[in-house]
Structure 1
């Protein structure tokens, strides 16, 4: 197996949706699903192209109410490229005899290839090789190269190259009852002899998208004589290239496409910019060369090499690959967030959730400039977060559970249960913990980079306004002499209310309350950290006085955290819920990941049971080391020892359905030190979530980017025990037996570290300087470290020492 390639042998229509999502190509500016060039949207295929931040709103009248949704728009399809022999049919793998077929996603070079041999109804055999790229350096460009080789026939052939504006958002079946036509085609025309152009505009956001396609044909490196015919239909334009072909004489076709939007900088209009771009674009070979160079540089930053099963290495690279296609160095010029399902499909409508909590750790330590750009997406939407807080009766900034273009709450008010066919209220917006996740991301970025400028002029303001929100949502409970946070949801989406309650929301979710305490503390730290002049300006701007800051400190020490049987409760009253019949339901249904849908279809509610969709309390053990969590709980007046930690992990793991792909990532993390074998098993299960579509059809609607990034971070930090905070840098490696070695490169506060882990060895090198602490911890041992230093260590009896 090639560790750099995801390969499929044979054409399987039922698997096309999955393959199309996993074979998506992108560059952070736009991405296109891996649908075949000759394929049209239908039962098996779904071509989709998505622009980062390319949203539009539509309203649907449904069940007696008007429902408005904002979607990441499926843009005009630039892929169409097909051919037919004279008198024959257009290429269609669903209606022709396939003699051989292979598809390869080359992650090292950012390429999608297909190699096939087909026989038509007249017995004509043709070999076709297709190569596609979405350019990683010139982010407005994409290109396709086809080589067509007739094996047993000669004669005229027609090649059709098109831009198709007959596109709707229909990639998610449960959304198909809703309005889906997001744009109108304004212009479809020929541009010069070789090119066609299409200009479209979205209906509400008035985003203009221009695509210009240039198509050429060659025999070897020489242009062939051909006849061009323009094909114009409603919202569709194509060029037919009629050429003479001979048996065993390959014909090479190049299609180069430029795409611009009205949001781009330094342009007058997108169509004019696309025309200029295509006129200056090189041929396919030139584009391929510069594209490969850009990917080589990205992999220098991002690769992670392990001595383990080849499939594990391949999937880890697949996950890094898709992360770097969704957000890339080009993200720095954009005002975008990270869609939870990437730019790979329409699930979750392309919205931004809290998944960046799992994504940023990889970027912080590899490409921190991308994290900074993505945090600025949140900063620019701080005014909207303030408005949301005011409307809910709170102060400060309350970020939405689902965000899109403006930062308003995009969570739908109803959702469809496909098992019952019923539309149900959606209370997900009560997941106020998204604000804590954003604050956490701000501080961890600062910890990894010491970006003082960001903290001074963006981060501290976000932390203070989020802290102000938590202080305002907390309510003093005189009976217990502590503060409560009521009417919220935790990360576990199975529980949105108490059994039979008329009002949604839960009280004192342990994860939420501990995080709120941590945020309040971090905001105070940030104010102490920034420049005195800036602190004064910020306090003046936000009307922060000493009394309010003292209140933050008090609340951070007196928030209530519920416990039962000596372990933290998921929320207050959790212990009164019924135990769930896990074995009985597994026997009845098999797959019970989405237990909430199963029970609702039965007329029951998961709110009645101690059954979670995903890690909730255990998220605390994911975000904080045991020492950090113990310190935070001690600040709140609680204590947990190692036995409590172990019992808490066991308790909640047994009561979780893993209905979220993120859940196994968290569970593997919390077991990384205590149960390496089980941790490794869970990691491998998490790695398979998308590539094997373990949730049964969800990956075709878009990859789970948070889970993908989380698996990489699980190796990067979880298995290495990497911990960064303040002037504290620590490694505590606990590699599983199946992982015999690990090599990676990390960027810490402006300098690169090179790390090589063996079963009981470790080499740490700072080749180009070091701005971190003068010593680093390995396990419980401390070693001096500085610029140009190299540590060669070996573990003996649980203690690390230098190799003589």
Structure 2
């Protein structure tokens, strides 16, 4: 269907790994990269299957120090299937004399289709069609269907269908010097006539994983059974199926796989569950019907249509598709967070950063139960965050910059600069602002869902403990009569120390300080919202005193925010004293300078010396907070800051940003939406291209940039459509580019399923019938009550009216 598929023709060895990432099929529980079933890990291909929350740690010696790296584990390959025609070699599409080759990802149904044909040296023509999916309803199930048609010849087909237990993590080149064998094979055997089982265990975390496969053959109108020969070669087990081929009569082979781990609920043990499920599952077509229905239900909740730019609409759907393959209703109940690169590859070792700051807005207003589950992941790691705070002499909870299995800090202590080949100290763990993102998401989830039960029982505890942490690390500066936050790293990431300093960290990152003021105010307001009994419980359990709460209020009003002499917010204290960078000279020498830090280090220079940012830092304030909200915060902090300075601040930092992160274009598209709509649209379209075009030169092969994908939907909704959830009302203030025609999307606000349609400056909001109380909708100063099954319209100006309405 037009606009609902992504297709690749031919084989391009240099781009196959990128395509494999973008053609990943997943369901929120596990995902499998889009590699060919016959492919093995080599310079062209990289098969990979990853289960949410499945981590293991290995130890290496790097640059003279012991380094522990925890990674999301690449599991045994269930997809492994090879074909042989007659007595010939095993088929390999990369070396076969192809007459056609197309791979199509069906976004509507979540199915990857591979359709190819070849003519061998004897002039025989053969066509192969393969379909696969990771089942969206039965989250433990994957399936591959292979149909072979001998068009003008007869002979024998051998299908080798196996589970390959010899897997390792080797998908990121800069990690390959480090250990990657995370699994120990405990059991690998052929069972009855058409099934096989592999059990593995992670070598450090001791997580048991069981995978089983079942392979069956169906001939068109022929009931003859194929010959099954067991294959047992160490940890590679399965069957060779020998099937007679007749010209013009297709043969279909169905491979069904199950995957369970020791983390799963409602099972006795993984191997038994894998076999039980396999024995009860229907065939490929019946499974596909249920899988397609589950995707149809998801798209009903997550639909987005752009009127005139079908290419942009398709890219946006691809982003939503991969978001839902990583975090879906199947994620609910799992102990899994938001891996920065999805379940699509091994970059960042599958770690959880602050990416849910960009991901949860899209989920909260579409799949609030999934957003709640992801916030629960953070709540379960509150003890680890408390211990981390205690280890640095602070109170409350300090969430880590990177985490994996248990919420402990997993940031690397050294990192490799591929441009210079040197291992360098890494201080990005000083990004304390992760806790601010967690607290912000708790509050935004409550505003959109009205879920007081979560806020009272779990959300409040997180917000209060994060507030306590920032309140405890705020230092009073007598000379300024203000509080400061020292030794941190901001979202920019380039600046990890002052030039020439031996100790890492910078002081008074403006984003961190202002959002801390926001957090401390929210914590105070939240305490007043709590029921009396819960307030008393938390106060006693946390040891909250009136004096500490009073201190939070004082800090919230006296945090230091650095400014340039012209009133522009300074990224951090001392930023204005850094050197200006010769951007033109660097671009002339290197071309792509997105990763400016690596480029300068390879030249023997240091990015810490310059006014240069990897991505938005100060501008994150305009992304997260409305102009009115930020103005109020600044006023209460005692600064005469005015929203009129926002465009000047944007232009200042835009000129000094290398966009070394895909998140940079997300934030810039957002903050430019009000003042420079065409520039905002350019950045928005760049976000849509980021993975499809692999704009960072090879990074997409290592996994999608999930926050950018979800962020594109957030930019569309929050910035261009102007959707905000605050003050017990749904706010819309659209700045939608006319060149994109109308915008229509579905969303959820306080249990109401809504459809929002914007054309020009006219807005229509329709609600699905139900038994809910009416909601308040506000748009450009107007206000209306929307009842279930009703519609509200904000007509706007005459030229913006919808044609025919």
In 1, Cα distance between the equivalents of 2:92 and 2:789?
59
Q: CA deviation at 1:802?
A: 14
In 2, Cα distance between the equivalents of 1:484 and 1:752?
44
| 1:573-611 Cα deviation digits (max 9, x unpaired) | 111111111111112111110010000000000111111
| 1:395-450 Cα deviation digits (max 9, x unpaired) | 10000000110000000100000000000001010000001111101110011111
Any residues of structure 2 matched to 1:179-190 within 5 Å, and which? Answer: 179-190=179-190
SS of the aligned residue for 1:133 comes to strand
In 2, Cα distance between the equivalents of 1:221 and 1:761?
58
Give the corresponding residue for 1:456. 456
Residue segments in structure 2 that go unaligned for 5+ positions in a row: none
In 2, Cα distance between the equivalents of 1:774 and 1:267?
42
Q: CA deviation at 1:188?
A: 1.1
Give the corresponding residue for 2:574. 573
Residue segments in structure 1 that go unaligned for 5+ positions in a row: none
SS of the aligned residue for 2:143 comes to strand
Closer, same or farther: CA 774–800 of 1 in aligned 2, 3 Å? farther
Closer, same or farther: CA 287–647 of 1 in aligned 2, 3 Å? same
Any residues of structure 2 matched to 1:442-481 within 5 Å, and which? Answer: 442-481=442-481
In 2, Cα distance between the equivalents of 1:802 and 1:232?
67
- Residue 602 (str. 1) matches residue 603 (str. 2): yes
Any residues of structure 2 matched to 1:201-600 within 5 Å, and which? Answer: 201-220=201-220, 223-564=223-564, 565-600=566-601
Assess if the C-alpha contact under 8 Å between 2:37 and 2:82 holds in 1: yes
Assess if the C-alpha contact under 8 Å between 1:793 and 1:800 holds in 2: no
CA RMSD of aligned residues (A): 1.7
- Report the TM-score, using the length of structure 2 for normalisation: 0.98
In 1, Cα distance between the equivalents of 2:713 and 2:453?
29
Closer, same or farther: CA 126–624 of 1 in aligned 2, 3 Å? same
Q: CA deviation at 1:368?
A: 0.5
- Residue 680 (str. 1) matches residue 681 (str. 2): yes
Give the corresponding residue for 2:717. 716
- Report the TM-score, using the length of structure 1 for normalisation: 0.98
In 1, Cα distance between the equivalents of 2:775 and 2:259?
49
Give the corresponding residue for 1:737. 738
Give the corresponding residue for 2:652. 651
SS of the aligned residue for 2:709 comes to helix
Q: CA deviation at 1:737?
A: 2.1
Deviates more, 1:259-268 or 1:346-355: 259-268
In 2, Cα distance between the equivalents of 1:171 and 1:101?
25
Assess if the C-alpha contact under 8 Å between 2:762 and 2:797 holds in 1: no
Give the corresponding residue for 1:747. 748
Give the corresponding residue for 1:36. 36
SS of the aligned residue for 2:14 comes to helix
Closer, same or farther: CA 798–488 of 1 in aligned 2, 3 Å? farther
SS of the aligned residue for 2:15 comes to helix
Q: CA deviation at 1:238?
A: 2.5
In 1, Cα distance between the equivalents of 2:466 and 2:780?
34
In 2, Cα distance between the equivalents of 1:799 and 1:31?
44
In 1, Cα distance between the equivalents of 2:695 and 2:647?
28
In 2, Cα distance between the equivalents of 1:175 and 1:100?
36
Q: CA deviation at 1:528?
A: 1.1
Give the corresponding residue for 1:59. 59
| 1:612-653 Cα deviation digits (max 9, x unpaired) | 000000000000111111111112111322331111011011
In 2, Cα distance between the equivalents of 1:124 and 1:532?
80
SS of the aligned residue for 2:795 comes to strand
Assess if the C-alpha contact under 8 Å between 1:781 and 1:799 holds in 2: no
Give the corresponding residue for 1:165. 165
Q: CA deviation at 1:222?
A: 5.0
Assess if the C-alpha contact under 8 Å between 2:728 and 2:776 holds in 1: no
Give the corresponding residue for 1:642. 643
In 1, Cα distance between the equivalents of 2:94 and 2:502?
52
- Residue 153 (str. 1) matches residue 164 (str. 2): no
Any residues of structure 2 matched to 1:6-45 within 5 Å, and which? Answer: 6-45=6-45
Q: CA deviation at 1:789?
A: 3.4
Give the corresponding residue for 1:725. 726
Q: CA deviation at 1:197?
A: 1.0
Q: CA deviation at 1:88?
A: 0.4
| 1:483-504 Cα deviation digits (max 9, x unpaired) | 0000000000111111111111
